[in-house]
């Protein structure tokens, strides 16, 4: 490939009535990522292209967008793997557009926070001022490890069909993290989370379309976590929901 | 009612519907020739058999509860205002009662009344 | 679409019914939703036509003439074509529905454990995909059987 045709969706809600697509020829280099191409276009052709990026190595989750119709991280997508000289980049679906490829993630983070993504203990005083370590064996960590890999890029939420219409649905990211914390052996807050999940717009509005797991760049597999979470919510028995069972290190043990 | 209980109803009616609808389809053309199965005499004799009457009523209730609960779920995902949610929930109950009522009326009339011309 | 709707950027109902560029399970979701609504609409029509056994909405009991009337309306090629389609969608919806129930109870999934790159999500494992394929196959077979019974076989 000599040149690729980078087509960028341009849309500034404060001045534009509808999106337009602007094409930039970008010289192709071996190993070039879509983010490289966008930054090249921004640096040399049009400084006003709006794009959010940071780490360039699929750690921060900043550069989520739609690339040739699929939700991907721009820094993690090689131009060569698209097998097309035309690369169309658009903002992620289901997130309000701030400008061009930059979307508003505030609502996304709010949904995440609403499902209590932290270790909760029955003894609040002990939780605020712990007197000892909470124990977790390597085997217990393995059971939730993949769900801890979430970088909150939003690709899963942008692909979810329910999020496309239901503004009260938490989305796959928040639900997968709810599973992660509920199944964490150090956590005793399952009961509180179940109250939030067992609602009209809660975990049961997931219908296992699986697009979240298909697009996740970190192997979190939210669809798996959510289906396993549904089983627990259905049984109405949160693990360690009543303050029992969480182990604490004591000197000499 | 908690959403998990409503989903349990959805799953139970789904499993029941798979079995009952399969039997219904088998009796409408596979185990009984289609033309015979839909003839007036065959249908009338079905309404004279207790097992058949119970089967039909069960099929009616299971399929309609499952179907309208499914539509309720779809409508809740479509809009999320408080009034819409209330109307969807009320509408679901009304739709189930009305349709099960109409189907049950058909069964009762067929069972209890004599043949007219 | 208004500027506000464009800025809001929600996929809307199109996201439910257009699985283009998505995974197999998304296709199953779209078909399940469409077939579910289709089956319910058929069932409501079926409630109506079977009520003609007792004379329709204003009937008073079993009536051979009323049943003959409705049979005359629906027992034709077009009506039988509708029945074949109903068998197709009902079979798919039922078998795929069983797949969904099993998935939502966590059956068909291995327990989560430490993962290595390249990531193969267990949530999209081959076993439940085979069941989806089986649902499509069984629907096609059932529809072919219905076609044979209604159009080719002895009535």
> Nearest chain A Cα to C6, which residue?
A18
pLDDT given at position B117: 62
> Nearest chain B Cα to C151, which residue?
B34
The CA-atom distances, in angstroms, between A206 and each of A42, A70, A209, B1, C101 are 38, 20, 8, 19, 12
Q: Which pair of structure tokens corresponds to residue A81?
A: 């793997």
The domain spans of chain A are 3-103, 106-235
Q: Confirm if C62 and B110 have CB atoms less than 8 A apart.
A: yes
pLDDT given at position A246: 57
pLDDT given at position A128: 87
C90 chain-B contacts, CB cut-off 8 A: 21, 25
pLDDT: which is higher, C154 or C13? C13
CATH label of the domain that carries residue C79? 1.20.1300.10
- Summarised one tens digit per residue, pLDDT across range A173-188 is 999 999 999 999 999 9
User: Lowest mean pLDDT: which of A92-106, A223-237, C106-120?
Assistant: C106-120
Contact B8 A234 (CB under 8 A): yes
Q: Indicate the class that CATH gives domain A3-103.
A: alpha beta
pLDDT given at position C114: 86
Mean pLDDT of chain A: 93
User: Lowest mean pLDDT: which of A211-215, A239-243, C42-46?
Assistant: A239-243
- Summarised one tens digit per residue, pLDDT across range A105-161 is 999 999 999 999 999 988 888 888 888 888 899 999 999 999 999 999 999 999 999
Residue with tokens 């009961």: A191
Q: Confirm if A180 and A147 have CB atoms less than 8 A apart.
A: yes
Distance between CA A108 and CA A62 in Å, rounded?
13
User: Residue A68 burial by CB count (10 A; 0-12/13-18/19+): exposed, middle or buried?
Assistant: middle
Q: Among 3.40.50.720, 1.10.1060.10, 1.10.1330.10, 3.50.50.60, name the CATH number for the domain at A106-235.
A: 1.10.1060.10
Asked if C108 is an interface residue toward chain A (Cβ–Cβ < 8 A), one would say no
The residues of chain B scoring below 70 in pLDDT are: 117
Q: What is the mean pLDDT of residues A56-82?
A: 97
At residue C126, does pLDDT exceed 70?
yes
Contact A166 B76 (CB under 8 A): yes
* Helix or strand holding residue B108 (H, E): helix B82-112
pLDDT given at position C47: 96
Name the phi and psi angles at B56, rounded to 5: -65, -40
pLDDT given at position A155: 98
Residue B75 domain boundaries = 3-112
At residue A245, does pLDDT exceed 60?
no
Residue C119 domain boundaries = 23-152
* Helix or strand holding residue A87 (H, E): strand A86-90
State the smallest CA–CA distance between residue A221 and chain C in angstroms. Answer: 5
Mean pLDDT of chain C: 92
Contact A234 B4 (CB under 8 A): yes
Please choose, from the candidates B73, C113, B76, B3, the residue with its C-alpha nearest in 3D space to the C-alpha of residue A233: B3
């Amino acid at each position: 490939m000599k040149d690729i045709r980078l087509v960028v969706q341009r849309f500034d809600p404060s001045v534009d009535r509808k999106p337009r697509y602007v094409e930039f020829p970008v010289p192709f280099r071996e190993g070039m990522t879509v983010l490289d191409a966008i930054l090249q276009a921004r640096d040399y052709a049009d400084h006003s292209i709006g794009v959010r990026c940071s780490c360039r190595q699929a750690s921060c989750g900043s550069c989520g967008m739609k690339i040739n119709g699929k939700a991907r991280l721009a820094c993690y997508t090689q131009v060569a793997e698209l097998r097309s000289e035309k690369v169309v980049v658009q903002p992620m679906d289901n997130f309000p557009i701030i400008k061009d490829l930059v979307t508003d993630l505030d609502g996304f983070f709010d949904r995440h926070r609403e499902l209590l993504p932290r270790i909760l203990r029955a003894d609040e005083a002990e939780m605020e001022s712990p007197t000892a370590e909470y124990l977790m064996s390597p085997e217990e960590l393995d059971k939730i490890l993949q769900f801890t890999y979430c970088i909150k890029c939003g690709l899963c939420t942008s692909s979810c069909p329910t999020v496309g219409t239901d503004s009260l649905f938490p989305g796959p990211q928040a639900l997968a993290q709810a599973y992660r914390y509920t199944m964490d052996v150090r956590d005793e807050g399952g009961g509180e989370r179940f109250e939030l999940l067992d609602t009209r717009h809660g975990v049961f509005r997931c219908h296992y379309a699986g697009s979240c797991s298909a697009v996740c760049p970190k192997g979190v597999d939210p669809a798996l976590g959510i289906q396993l979470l549904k089983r627990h919510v259905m049984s109405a028995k949160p693990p360690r929901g009543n303050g029992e069972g969480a182990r604490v290190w004591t000197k000499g043990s | 009612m908690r959403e998990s209980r409503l989903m349990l109803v959805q799953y139970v009616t789904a499993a029941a519907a798979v079995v009952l609808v399969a039997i219904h389809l088998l009796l409408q053309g596979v185990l009984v020739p289609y033309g015979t199965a839909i003839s007036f005499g065959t249908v009338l004799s079905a309404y004279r058999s207790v097992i058949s009457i119970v089967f039909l009523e069960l099929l009616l209730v299971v399929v309609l509860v499952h179907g309208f609960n499914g539509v309720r779920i779809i409508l809740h995902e479509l809009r999320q205002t408080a009034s819409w949610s209330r109307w969807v929930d009320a509408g679901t109950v009304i739709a189930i009662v009305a349709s099960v009522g109409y189907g049950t009326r058909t069964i009762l009339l067929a069972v209890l009344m004599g043949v007219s011309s | 679409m208004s500027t506000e709707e464009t800025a809001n950027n929600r996929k809307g109902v199109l996201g439910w019914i257009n699985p283009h560029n998505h995974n197999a399970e998304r296709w199953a979701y779209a078909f399940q939703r469409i077939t579910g609504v289709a089956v319910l609409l058929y069932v409501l029509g079926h409630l109506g036509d079977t009520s003609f056994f007792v004379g329709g909405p204003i009937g008073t009991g079993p009536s051979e003439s009323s049943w003959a009337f409705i049979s005359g309306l629906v027992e034709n090629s077009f009506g039988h074509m509708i029945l074949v389609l109903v068998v197709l969608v009902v079979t798919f919806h039922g078998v795929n529905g069983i797949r969904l129930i099993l998935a939502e109870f966590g059956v068909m999934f291995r327990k989560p454990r430490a993962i290595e790159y390249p990531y193969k999500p267990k949530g999209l494992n081959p076993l439940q995909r085979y069941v989806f394929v089986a649902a499509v196959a069984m629907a096609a077979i059932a529809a072919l059987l219905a076609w044979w019974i209604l159009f080719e076989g002895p009535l």
